[in-house]
Amino acid sequence: MNVEPNLKYDEEHEWVRVEGEEGVVGISDYAQDQLSDVVYVELPEVGDTFDRGDILAVVESVKAASDVYMPVSGEVLEINEELDDSPALVNKDPYGEAWLVRITIADPSELDDLLDADAYEAYLESLDE
């Protein structure tokens, strides 16, 4: 599994890339691998606000539908509209082109509760045991 070093992760397999007071949110390589071929992504509306742990989006694959949870509280500033036409980007580039939303980070202290890349890799290894 590919784990990007400069991201924060949660145990539900979402990631956030911090860019100043904003964040970019997506699902991890592990998550997209578990889902298999992604065929649809349901994203929220710009302006929607979420608390940490709220359901942010739904990703559907040929295997199952899976909820995507908000890793930190915030407001949606932008959605990745490319995923409407090309949901398979989630499988091809989960840390790049397949970001889900750009958010304001309402409470930066919530980032402290997320895993860094090393801790997330250790968590993934514990799942295989």
pLDDT tens per residue across span 73-88: 999 999 999 999 999 9
CA distance 4 to 50: 25
Question: Is the whole model's pTM more than 0.75, yes or no?
Answer: yes
How is the beta sheet containing 22-27 ordered, strand by strand? Answer: 8-9, 14-19, 22-27, 101-105, 74-79, 49-50
CA distance 81 to 46: 11
pLDDT reported for residue 128? 79
pLDDT reported for residue 1? 81
pLDDT reported for residue 3? 97
> Tokens 């932008």 label which residue?
78
Q: What is the pLDDT along the chain (129 residues), one digit of tens a residue?
A: 899 999 999 999 999 999 999 999 999 999 999 999 999 999 999 999 999 999 999 999 998 999 999 999 999 999 999 999 999 999 999 999 999 999 999 999 999 999 999 999 999 999 976
